[in-house]
Structure 1
Amino acid sequence: MAQPKIRNMEEFAAISGISRPTVSKYFNDPDSVRATSRKKIEAALAKHAYEPNVFAMNQNRRKTKNIGVLVPNLADPFFSEIARRVELACIEAGYSPILLSSHGSPDRERDNLKSLRSLKPAGVLLAPFGRRLSDREAVRAFSEDFPLVLFDANMPETGQAFVGTNHIQSIDLMVEYLCRSGEPPCFFEMKHPTHPNAFVHRHAYIESMERHGETPHVHQAEGGGWNFEEIGSTEGGRLLAEGAFETNTILCSNDRLAIGMLSAAYRLHLPVGHGPDCKIRIAGHDDHPFSRFTCPPLTTIAQDYEAIAIRAVRTLFRILEDAGHLPAREETLFEGRLIMRDSA
């Protein structure tokens, strides 16, 4: 005969013959209750297959085992890859990751922070939209109430720590290579970028070109959003067709724009690469998972996904071990690595 469904911990405590506080203590740490009580609880669990509501339990704790992970857009392979690594590291350490995407909307980022508040997380890992787009007051207020580690995009006045890539170093590395191996690069980006590191890439490109004694040429695509490949194909293709680029080398602000531009070059019958029959060179930044499979394979800068994810998680755990604080705000930057492929 089917056993009646147990709706909450109070009902389970009554059926098992154990007090509600002891049952709750068992679910937090089975070894913390006496062996006789533990046997009764486990016998009742085997009979009734009851599973406690973890989130409801967390609401009654001052500290939970939840770790919030909030990214701008999980559809972007960069964030999905980092989030995957962060999630696994949290699980391995005994925490419950709560992964949220803002789907390209800064307003959604603010709403997600409100949702995380209600879950009382032990701490949060946030890849923000940055100072220009994030609700800075909302992020600052959140960081005052919960341990917060930023990754990917920095907001220097916010959070206990930041972990990311040294984009000035990585763009300079690419510019140096392109200048050394052929004509100096023009720069292609969106006029209204949705990711804060795009601004860093533009300024780093200009400074690097000037250091190399070259004239920077910045070309901007109309529009915004996260449809980088489409913008790279349509707007990048339009510029290619018009002969707008001053040299035969184009450095795209990110790999997704570069992938779109590669498709436009194919459509325009423009051979891409550094061979004698090639008309243009195209390079990107990020080492997108698909960049090695484009035609030709894309020259790019690799960010160290694993190092960023592991350092961010370990920094947050260290903050939790130190009662939620660090002596001073920390910033960790990993250098980018040049990946030379056939496109440039």
Structure 2
Amino acid sequence: MAKIRSMEEFAAASGISRPTLSKYFSDPSSVRKSTRQRIETALVEHEYRPNIFAISQNRKRPMNVGILIPHLTDPYFAELVRHIEARCASMGFWAIILSSHGDPDLEERALRTLLSLKLAGAIVAPLGTRSNCDTFKALCKELPIVFLDSRIDLEVPFVGTDNRASIELLVEYLVRTGEPPCFLDMPHVNQNALERRQAFEEAARKAKFEPHVIPARTLDWNFEQIGFDVVTAYLRGSGLPSRTLLCANDRLAFGALAAAYKSGLKVGREDNADLRIAGHDDHPLSRFACPSLTTIAQDYEGLASSAFDILVGRLDGEENMPTSELLSSRLVMRDSA
């Protein structure tokens, strides 16, 4: 039997009209049960697998959703994508996932790829300070988009975590249970970095202690290496400004934990510990750090669901959709602080 390569060939071989097949592949429940059974039997008999992507591209309303994130290999973003994919599948959408790999040139190329596809919309976590706003503007003119986790200065719906509230929650806990923290700043690659530093400074003033900030003078996304190098340099020099270190994200904290270990310091909540370290995000690997990392847990499922729901609401023309949604977070107390 010759291999069937197109819908037209399948229609001719099965004796089922092309419009009926299109109707079935758009929505199997839209054809009569007897017709559906006949089509499914023919699919097995002729070993035909239709190009679902091409079918979606030909629809008046495509069922493809673009997703662009900074790093596919970062478990934080992988977890967000996992939840978005699940929502897409539950609603009959196909997720097309791209990564900018922390590179603004690759981000621009990915945006142009999204522009070249026929998409229903896109959920995008922009790099931030190094993003090309003009290319983002072009994308916004072509299709509905929602910013997730980070944003740039465009009138686009945004879903993220309330950094001010989360940092204040963590600072209050660290002050209540020990020495007030100093703050390991993350590279100012996006709005989250700026918001978390400002939130720390505000929380320190509120708690009436000096807000010592350890800067990260780079725009690199290699946070673990940055955390390790910066903390190692301080430990070999005059030491950290405090015996409690609050890191702007968990990946920085992983590097700080490694630096402390290599310097022979004990990290933990015990009275005989040399240093307490806390992070932010509840990165999927945080509970497996040694010691396990005290952190702020972002609502991964809530972030993904809210971004998807806002996007679908825009596609359906719903009015009064939120333009910004900041989700709350929770403190996770583990062994490191």
Q: Distance in 2 between matches of 1:42 and 1:247?
A: 67
Structure 1 position 66, deviation (Å): 0.8
| Residue 144 in structure 1 maps to residue 144 in structure 2 | no
Structure 1 position 287, deviation (Å): 1.1
CA contact (8 A) 1:232 1:258 kept: yes
Structure 1 position 38, deviation (Å): 5.3
* Identity, % of aligned positions: 48
Deviating more after overlay: 297-306 vs 207-216? 207-216
Match of 1:315 in 2: 310
Q: Distance in 2 between matches of 1:80 and 1:44?
A: 38
Match of 1:288 in 2: 283
CA contact (8 A) 2:313 2:321 kept: no
Match of 2:8 in 1: 10
Match of 1:164 in 2: 160
Q: Name which of 227, 231, 243 aligns with 1:232.
A: 227
- CA deviation string 1:177-217 (max 9, x = no partner): 22222222111124x44343112111111122122222111
CA contact (8 A) 1:300 1:338 kept: yes
Q: Name which of 60, 83, 86 aligns with 2:84.
A: 86
| Residue 266 in structure 1 maps to residue 261 in structure 2 | yes
Q: Name which of 92, 97, 100 aligns with 1:99.
A: 97
Match of 2:202 in 1: 207
CA contact (8 A) 1:139 1:158 kept: no
- CA deviation string 1:239-288 (max 9, x = no partner): 12212422211111111111111111111111222322122221111112
Gaps of 5+ in 1: none
Q: Distance in 1 between matches of 2:172 and 2:72?
A: 32
- CA deviation string 1:160-182 (max 9, x = no partner): x2111000111111122222222
2:215 counterpart SS class: strand
What amino acid sits opposite 1:339 in the alignment? V
- CA deviation string 1:80-114 (max 9, x = no partner): 01110110111011111112221112222222222
1:333 counterpart SS class: strand
Q: How many residues align?
A: 337
Match of 1:72 in 2: 70
Structure 1 position 42, deviation (Å): 4.3
| Residue 189 in structure 1 maps to residue 185 in structure 2 | yes
Structure 1 position 155, deviation (Å): 3.2
- CA deviation string 1:213-247 (max 9, x = no partner): 22111112344433222221222111122124222
1:225 counterpart SS class: coil
Cα 1:175–1:39 change in 2 (3 A) is: closer
Match of 1:179 in 2: 175
Q: Distance in 2 between matches of 1:211 and 1:259?
A: 28
Q: Name which of 145, 151, 156 aligns with 1:154.
A: 151
Q: Distance in 2 between matches of 1:212 and 1:63?
A: 53
Match of 2:243 in 1: 248
Structure 1 position 4, deviation (Å): 0.3
Deviating more after overlay: 303-312 vs 132-141? 132-141
CA contact (8 A) 2:310 2:321 kept: no
Match of 1:333 in 2: 326
Match of 1:343 in 2: 336
Deviating more after overlay: 326-335 vs 247-256? 326-335
Deviating more after overlay: 198-207 vs 223-232? 223-232
CA-based RMSD of the aligned residues comes to: 2.2
What amino acid sits opposite 1:9 in the alignment? M
CA contact (8 A) 1:254 1:286 kept: yes
Q: Distance in 2 between matches of 1:83 and 1:321?
A: 22
Structure 1 position 33, deviation (Å): 4.6
Deviating more after overlay: 62-71 vs 11-20? 11-20
What amino acid sits opposite 2:72 in the alignment? L
- CA deviation string 1:104-129 (max 9, x = no partner): 12222222222222321112111112
Gaps of 5+ in 2: none
